[in-house]
Amino acid sequence: MDDRTQAFDQLTEDYRRFRPDYPAPLLERLGEHVRAGDRDSWPTPWLMLDVGSGTGISTRALRRVFGPAPRVVGVEPGRAMRDTAEGHDRDGVEFVGGRAEEVPFPDSSAVLVLAAQAVHWFDRPAFYAEAARLLAPGGTAAVLNNDRDWTASAFADAYENLLEEYGDDYRRDYRAYDTVGEMNAADGLGEATESTASWTRSLGPEGFVGTALSSSRMAAVVRNIGEPRTRDALASLVTEYFPDGNVRVPYTTRLYLARREG
């Protein structure tokens, strides 16, 4: 696909139905970090931007964390993803079109700029520079990733093997970069930190297959070997590792936070 921003066009309904939320302790940590900022110069109401918001999973999470007062906006370039987000219960959040490197809001207008499960799609230095532009002094730049932990179980390792064997140059460590260092290197951002939470998601066979097929990485497998064969391979993983039908997927979720200086 030439336009990577439309990579999820055919995956949006599975994405909405099956993608996981984020661990409550890390969402609470995000809330604490934002509220600890120097709020004297912040605009009212607070503006919170969820960049690369997809179908709005993380956007709606912000509403739960911060309550009804802030203005919460998902910024998403993918037309189908944005249409899906707008077509379901939005919990009082908004969605606009825009790319991570050129977000359509003024300088110093936001108190939070979040990228959840999306920053690996961005020109990251450009995104961090854009976050610094958007944030009011004392505001928070945040990156949140749910990563399967392939070291935690033979099943998770076998799942990654499937992606590596049949995907398009897929590597399981594709998100293993120095996010703290990249955030600290951005002009205007500093005090970057990392917090993690390990957890296990339990799914039935349908939920597991739906989650897998919502991924652009698994979509490459489907293109290369066909959907029937991909579904058979996923079903074989369930049969081999979870004969009781209760699929247990280990995750490590990582939250990176930085403060807008100045």
**Given a cut of 90, is residue 12 above it in pLDDT?**
no
> Could you report the per-residue pLDDT of 109-152, keeping only the tens digit for each?
999 999 999 999 999 999 999 999 999 999 999 999 999 999 99
pLDDT of residue 38: 84
Q: Are 132 and 109 in contact (CB under 8 A)?
A: no
> Could you report the per-residue pLDDT of 71-116, keeping only the tens digit for each?
999 999 988 889 888 887 667 899 999 999 999 999 999 999 999 9
CB burial of 76-101 (b: ≥16 within 10 Å; e: otherwise) equals bbbebbbebbeeeebeebebeebbbe
Please state the domain extents for the chain.
4-148+175-200+250-260
Instruction: Report the alpha-carbon distance of residue 177 to residue 106 in Å, rounded.
Output: 29
Position of tokens 């520079």?
Answer: 129
Q: Are 114 and 51 in contact (CB under 8 A)?
A: yes
Band of the pLDDT at 187, cuts 50, 70, 90?
very high
Average pLDDT, the chain: 92
* Domain 4-148+175-200+250-260, CATH among 3.40.50.10490, 3.40.50.300, 3.40.50.150, 3.30.930.10: 3.40.50.150
Residue 180 to residues 123, 177, 240: CA-CA distances in angstroms? 16, 9, 38
pLDDT of residue 1: 40
**pTM greater than 0.95 (yes/no):** no
**Given a cut of 90, is residue 17 above it in pLDDT?**
no
Tell me the two tokens of residue 36.
Answer: 């600890």
Band of the pLDDT at 16, cuts 50, 70, 90?
low
Residue 46 to residues 60, 88, 95, 178: CA-CA distances in angstroms? 16, 24, 16, 29
